[in-house]
Amino acid sequence: MKAVRLHEFHGTPVVDDVAEPTITGPLDVIVKIGGAGVCRTDLHIIEGQWDERMHTPLPYVLGHENAGWVHEVGSAVTNVAVGDTVILHPTPTCGLCRACRAGDDMHCENSSFPGLSTDGGMAEYLLTSARACVKLEPSTQPQDVAALADAGITAYHAVKKAIPLAYPGTTCVVIGAGGLGHIGVQCLAALSATRIIVVDRNPDALKLAEQIGADVTVVADGGHVAAVQDLTGGNGADVVLDFVAEQGAEMDGWNMTAPAGSYFVIGYGGTVHIPTLDIISTERNVIGNIVGTYNDLAELMALAQSGKVTLHTKTYPLTAAPDALADLDAGRVRGRAILVP
């Protein structure tokens, strides 16, 4: 089969011919990929940022946002059958550890992470687990929802945590209305009555934000922190969701957060430098976020299939993966890039 593999860090992934995966365990599921999302994390993987944590042997197949159709199942699989349309939770889990038992399966002690720790879904077929499969309506096109498997669930997970703080009369700033941020805006609009301010340096991203739920948009042009302060009576926002968190956005997010407010870090790549006195004197909170639970993904798909969250995508054939990654890196993708085998 064709697969997009990384052979060396800081190099360009290439499309190789590799063997198809095979069933080896009773809960294994092989999925025929119908759509694989292209994520900024893939750019970070190529740069070697995840190597220290994942120790992934090279070469390996990229792709951690995957949806498709069940192609083959192990002997003990009962929740899906061959032909079912599915979206895949990004981390197949054990179901037995304390985190899984508590419904916090994103922190499973025995999980794998296809696309980061094992071969991923930028390929014609992917080996996963029955526990990762969320069954969808048969009419669903995998390429339309694939990026919800990571970008979507990550955005939804952060918004869901912020909802108790985003009650009517509050203000929430969303930094970055790109691949993750445009999903976060829609989740906020669907689940809360907070005033939504979206900050981005790209005018096209701000236009999209206005169409999908933003109440106010602000161009990130150097004066955006002051603009947010002006829009909030000098206090800052009660909640800041930072979908960028690099190249200075991380400090902007902290500086936009009101006293007793909460700064949610979702993007990554930068470094936050905060005097501890600033934290205790203002009682501001810094909250980390990564991926989400299986139930988060199931809830997000309910929103998507009811039309309340829609992915804005640009599709590429699998063989054009290097082009998709280059376009993402250069900021030429509005919404999410999707590879379609």
Output the six-digit token pair for 337: 């890039």
Residue type, 147: A
| pLDDT > 90? residue 56 | no
Strands 336-340 and 28-38: antiparallel
Q: Within a 13 Å sphere around the CA of 71, how many CA atoms are in the beta-carbon half?
A: 16
pLDDT in tens, 198-220: 999 999 999 999 999 999 999 99
Q: Are residues 207 and 228 in the same domain?
A: yes
Q: Are residues 97 and 168 in the same domain?
A: no
Give the CATH number for residue 228. Answer: 3.40.50.720
Q: Are residues 119 and 166 in the same domain?
A: no
Given this model, what pLDDT does residue 275 score?
A: 95
Q: Are residues 131 and 202 in the same domain?
A: no
What is the mean predicted confidence (pLDDT) over 162-178? Answer: 97
Angle between helix 294-305 and helix 151-162 axes, rounded to 10 deg: 100
Reduced to 3 states, what is the DSSP secondary structure of residue 247?
Answer: coil
Q: Return d(Cα 234, Cα 252) in angstroms, integer.
A: 15
| pLDDT > 80? residue 334 | no
Q: Are residues 282 and 300 in the same domain?
A: no
pLDDT in tens, 256-297: 999 999 999 999 889 999 999 999 999 999 999 989 999 999
Q: Are residues 134 and 206 in the same domain?
A: no
Given this model, what pLDDT does residue 331 score?
A: 84
Q: Are residues 135 and 9 in the same domain?
A: yes
Q: Return d(Cα 230, Cα 69) in angstroms, integer.
A: 50
Give the CATH number for residue 146. Answer: 3.90.180.10
215: nearest Cα among 203, 201, 199:
199
Question: What pTM did the predictor assign?
Answer: 0.90
Share of the chain above pLDDT 90, in %: 90
Q: Are residues 50 and 162 in the same domain?
A: no
Given this model, what pLDDT does residue 179 score?
A: 85
Segments forming the whole domain that contains residue 206: 153-288
Number of domains in the chain: 2
Structure confidence at residue 333 as a pLDDT band (50, 70, 90): confident
H/E stretch holding 337 reads strand 336-340
> Where does residue 107 fall: left (phi above 0), alpha (psi -120 to 50 degrees), or beta otherwise?
alpha
